[in-house]
């Protein structure tokens, strides 16, 4: 399978090339030339597969330059039950992403697809554990090393660091927004003392950190000289690993492949829901993809109005679902590329306009008018008050403690319940990571796994800098 960029670059790269490359050389994001299709026969055969088996068949459609006999053990090692231990009960999770049906609401089932049973208690582990193993495999094959530069609003950072700890030939430089993550998230990252993990806190928001990652990647000479790679969802490998659990959730919520389901997805950088879009394009019977934002409602505004208007750091709210405090959604460009009929020139023009003016407006186009019918996207937003309400309601009605991001998903999902269409809310993190908000909502502490008890008291190691590309390049140069 060949990969192309949303901005036109098409040099025949294969999966392993773009895994290491991250961002395309023209500043765009990589996508396959066309989406692989899943036939009705395949879908029927996939229904009863285990998680690693399902991951193997889905990933095989994209990783065509890795031999099946090499991909299969790598995938089995990644999605092993001992890696995905239920943080609450301390038990191995055999099916990796269990579906919990909360109940019947307005003649349909409302369920949570639990994606946060991995080592860092957030859905990022689902892809990052795979990336760690893929990097190790490809780097060994090519005799190369990789220096990862990433940006986090709280969960990508720890997931990447835990996945890359001790990996040969890989160093992680992770940019985080100073003072904007929960105490648990901060401690989870900064308490790591591994030599190949370097945490850098910047004065700014996640978008500033993401802009720095892109600026360094777009300096081709620097990128080549320092073997810079990425782990954010701008890296296509992240997205395909996330595609797998949409299939898994669909099979768990239905009895036959004639049924449809809807997914409600807590969203920020548009990586998670973009994976849902890819699954739908491959042929998975998804009715609606519900984009749930917090107070940082850039995406909700777009799906409601056709205007994509990014916000500055000053206008980005610091909320109680902090991992979604994002006002420039990277993966959105992948969807716009599809929406524009895969026209790279149009996509490039739109995002150049965002760089210049901070927005684009496609409200009066047939493409915008077609979004819900053709792609199933709808959206909603939630606020602190509504988030707390959702946490309380789910606790009182169903005895589950959900985290604030999942709560945004639940709150918005209620607006789109349809008779006979199962609604699956993606559970994106464990409540333990956001105890401050759980305490505020319920007056109790969220249970945390033994390994994380008192993590906030451990010694922390982090470099503080201004939000400045050259300062980051300087740290990279000195530490590589
Ligand atoms: C807990 C949690 N929920 C939701 C999101 C939003 O996901 P995405 O950025 O892929 O839209 C994030 C961050 O990405 C997150 O960490
Ligand atoms: N929410 C993320 C930031 C988005 O990162 P991505 O790696 O999914 O693009 C975080 O918690 O760090």
Residue 324 Cα: closest atom of ligand 2: 1
Quote the pLDDT of residue 236.
98
Categorize the per-residue pLDDT at 474 as very low, low, confident or very high, splitting at 50, 70 and 90.
very high
Q: What is the ipTM of this complex?
A: 0.99
The 10 Å Cβ neighbour count of residue 454 is 8
Q: Is the pLDDT of residue 91 over 80?
A: no
Ligand 2: centre distance to CA 272 (Å) = 9
Quote the pLDDT of residue 88.
61
Quote the pLDDT of residue 9.
96
Categorize the per-residue pLDDT at 104 as very low, low, confident or very high, splitting at 50, 70 and 90.
confident
* Ligand 2, CB within 6 Å, residue ranges: 152-157, 206, 232-233, 268-269, 271, 323, 330
212-232: average pLDDT: 97
Quote the pLDDT of residue 213.
97
Residue 267 Cα: closest atom of ligand 1: 11
pLDDT digits (tens, 9 = 90+) for 235-291: 999 999 999 999 999 999 999 999 999 999 999 999 999 999 999 999 999 999 999
Task: Tell which one of 151, 289, 320, 323 to mutate to probe ligand 1, the residue whose CB is within 8 A of the most ligand atoms.
Answer: 323
Nearest-CA residue for atom 15 of ligand 1 = 323
Nearest-CA residue for atom 1 of ligand 2 = 323
CA–CA separation, 43 and 258 (whole Å): 11
pLDDT digits (tens, 9 = 90+) for 223-235: 999 999 999 999 9
Task: Tell which one of 120, 289, 405 to mutate to probe ligand 1, the residue whose CB is within 8 A of the most ligand atoms.
Answer: 405
Average model confidence (pLDDT) across the chain: 96
Q: What percent of the chain has pLDDT over 70?
A: 99
Q: What percent of the chain has pLDDT over 90?
A: 94
Ligand 1: centre distance to CA 262 (Å) = 18
10-39: average pLDDT: 97
Considering every ligand atom, which ligand is closest to the CA of 161?
2
Per-domain boundaries in the chain? 99-119+237-442
Task: Tell which one of 177, 271, 295, 431 to mutate to probe ligand 1, the residue whose CB is within 8 A of the most ligand atoms.
Answer: 271
pLDDT digits (tens, 9 = 90+) for 452-465: 999 999 999 999 99
Q: Is the pLDDT of residue 369 over 70?
A: yes
Look up the CATH number of domain 99-119+237-442: 3.40.50.1100
Quote the pLDDT of residue 82.
86
3-state SS of the chain is CCEEECCCCCCCECHHHHHHHCCCCCCCCEEECCCCCCCHHHHHHHCCCCHHHHHHHHHHCCCCCCCHHHHHHHHHHHCCCCCCECCCCCCECCCCCCEEEEEEECCEEEEEEECCCCCCCECHHHHHHHHHHHHHHHHHHHCCCEEEEEECCCCHHHHHHHHHCCCCCEEEEEEEECCCCCHHHHHHHHCCCCCCEEEEEEECCHHHHHHHHHHHHHCHHHHHHHCEECCCCCCHHHHHHHHHHHHHHHHHHCCCCCCCEEEEEECCCCHHHHHHHHHHHHCCCEEEEEEEECCCCHHHHHHHHCEEECCCHHHCCCCCCHHHCCCCCCCHHHHHHHHCCCCHHHHHHHHHHHHHHCEEECCCCHHHHCHHHHHCEEEEECCHHHHHHHHHHHHHHHCCCCCHHHHHHHHHHHHHCECCECEEEEECECHHHHHHHHHHHHCCCCCCCHHHCCHHHCCCCCEEEECCHHHHHHHHHHHC
- Check if 124 is active-site: yes
319-326: average pLDDT: 98
Q: Is the pLDDT of residue 86 over 80?
A: no
Ligand 1 and 269: CB distance under 6 A = yes
Quote the pLDDT of residue 105.
80
Categorize the per-residue pLDDT at 8 as very low, low, confident or very high, splitting at 50, 70 and 90.
very high
Strand partners, 266: 292
Quote the pLDDT of residue 267.
98
Considering every ligand atom, which ligand is closest to the CA of 175?
2
Residue 176 Cα: closest atom of ligand 2: 12
Alpha carbon 291 to its chain centroid, in Å, reads: 13
Residue 156 Cα: closest atom of ligand 1: 16
Categorize the per-residue pLDDT at 93 as very low, low, confident or very high, splitting at 50, 70 and 90.
confident
Nearest-CA residue for atom 7 of ligand 1 = 267
- Contact of 340 with 346, CB cutoff 8 Å: yes
Nearest-CA residue for atom 13 of ligand 1 = 323
- C-alpha closest to that of 100 among 412, 435, 410: 410
Ligand 2: centre distance to CA 372 (Å) = 25
Quote the pLDDT of residue 227.
97
* CB half-sphere exposure, 243, CA atoms < 13 A: 25
Task: Tell which one of 120, 121, 124 to mutate to probe ligand 2, the residue whose CB is within 8 A of the most ligand atoms.
Answer: 124
Q: Among 2, 124, 288, 356, which one carries the catalytic annotation?
A: 124
Categorize the per-residue pLDDT at 168 as very low, low, confident or very high, splitting at 50, 70 and 90.
confident
Categorize the per-residue pLDDT at 87 as very low, low, confident or very high, splitting at 50, 70 and 90.
low
Ligand 1 and 323: CB distance under 6 A = yes
Q: Is the pLDDT of residue 407 over 70?
A: yes
Ligand 1 and 405: CB distance under 6 A = yes
Q: Is the pLDDT of residue 122 over 80?
A: yes
């Amino acid at each position: 399978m060949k990969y192309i960029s949303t901005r036109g670059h098409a040099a025949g790269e294969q999966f392993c090339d773009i895994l290491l490359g991250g961002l395309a050389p023209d500043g765009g994001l990589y996508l396959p030339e066309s989406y692989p299709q899943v036939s009705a026969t395949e879908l029927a055969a996939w229904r009863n597969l285990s998680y690693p088996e399902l991951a193997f068949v889905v990933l095989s459609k994209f990783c065509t330059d890795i031999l099946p006999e090499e991909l299969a053990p790598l995938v089995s090692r990644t999605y092993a039950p001992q890696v995905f231990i239920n943080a609450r009960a301390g038990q191995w999770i055999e099916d990796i992403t269990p579906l919990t049906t909360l109940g019947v609401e307005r003649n349909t089932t409302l369920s949570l697809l639990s994606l946060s049973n991995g080592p860092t208690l957030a859905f990022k582990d689902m892809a990052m554990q795979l990336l760690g193993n893929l990097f190790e495999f490809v780097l060994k094959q090519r005799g190369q090393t990789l220096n990862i530069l990433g940006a986090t609003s709280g969960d990508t950072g720890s997931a990447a660091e835990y996945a890359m700890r001790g990996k040969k030939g890989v160093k992680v430089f992770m940019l985080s927004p100073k003072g904007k993550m929960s105490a648990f998230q901060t401690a989870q990252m900064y308490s790591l003392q591994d030599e190949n993990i370097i945490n850098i806190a910047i004065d700014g928001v996640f978008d500033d950190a993401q802009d720095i990652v892109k600026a360094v990647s777009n300096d081709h000479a620097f990128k080549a000289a320092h073997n810079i790679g990425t782990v954010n969802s701008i890296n296509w490998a992240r997205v395909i690993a996330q595609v797998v659990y949409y299939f898994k959730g669909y099979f768990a919520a239905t009895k036959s492949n004639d049924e449809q389901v809807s997914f409600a997805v807590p969203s920020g950088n548009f990586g998670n829901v973009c994976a849902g879009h890819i699954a739908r394009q491959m042929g998975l019977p998804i009715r609606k993809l519900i984009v749930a934002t917090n107070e940082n409602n850039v995406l909700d505004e777009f799906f409601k109005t056709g205007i994509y208007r990014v916000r500055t750091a000053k206008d980005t709210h610091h909320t109680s679902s902090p991992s979604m405090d994002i006002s420039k959604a990277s993966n959105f460009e992948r969807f716009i590329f599809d929406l524009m009929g895969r026209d790279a020139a149009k996509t490039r023009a739109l995002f150049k306009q965002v760089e210049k003016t901070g927005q684009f407006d496609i409200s009066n186009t047939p493409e915008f008018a077609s979004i819900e019918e053709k792609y199933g996207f709808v959206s909603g937003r939630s606020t602190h008050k509504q988030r707390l309400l959702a946490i309380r309601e789910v606790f009182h009605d169903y005895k589950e403690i959900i985290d604030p991001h999942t709560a945004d998903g639940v709150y918005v999902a209620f607006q789109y319940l349809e008779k006979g269409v199962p609604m699956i809310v993606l559970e994106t993190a464990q409540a333990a990571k956001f105890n401050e908000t759980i305490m505020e909502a319920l007056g109790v502490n969220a249970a945390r796994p033994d390994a994380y008890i008192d993590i906030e008291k451990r010694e922390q190691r982090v470099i503080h800098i201004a939000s400045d590309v050259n300062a980051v390049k300087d740290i990279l140069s000195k530490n590589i």
